[in-house]
Amino acid sequence: MEAGLSKPEAALVAKIFFDKMADTLANGDRVEVRGFCSFFVKKHRAYTGRNPKTGKKVKIKSKKLPFFKFGSELKKRVDA
């Protein structure tokens, strides 16, 4: 399926899409592309880790990380 867009136009559409998606995730909201995938943010608590070089204990701050979960239609297409 062709949309009739030039490469620069398609690049602009992709940039707008990914910028909006990043802004949505930064606000803590979920992004879902039906049948393809969903993106969401997981919050991790602070914990004590170790520096692998020195073995010294290090405090790791709490953080939020983006996660990707593929949809059932994508699974089926890849497995076919």
**Residue indicated by tokens 């070089």:** 53
Of the candidates 66, 24, 60, 19, the residue with the CA atom closest to the CA atom of residue 42: 66
Assigned token pair, 55: 């073995």
- Homologous superfamily assigned to 7-79: IHF-like DNA-binding proteins (4.10.520.10)
Q: How confident is the model at residue 1 (pLDDT cuts 50, 70, 90)?
A: low
DSSP 62: P
Q: Do the strands 37-44 and 47-50 form a parallel or antiparallel pair, or are they unpaired?
A: unpaired
Query: 25-72: per-residue pLDDT in tens?
Result: 999 999 999 889 999 999 999 999 999 999 999 999 999 999 999 998
Residue 2 reports pLDDT greater than 80: no
Q: Give the torsion sign (CA, 13, 19, 20, 25).
A: positive
- Return the domain boundaries, the chain: 7-79
- What element of type H or E holds 23? helix 7-26
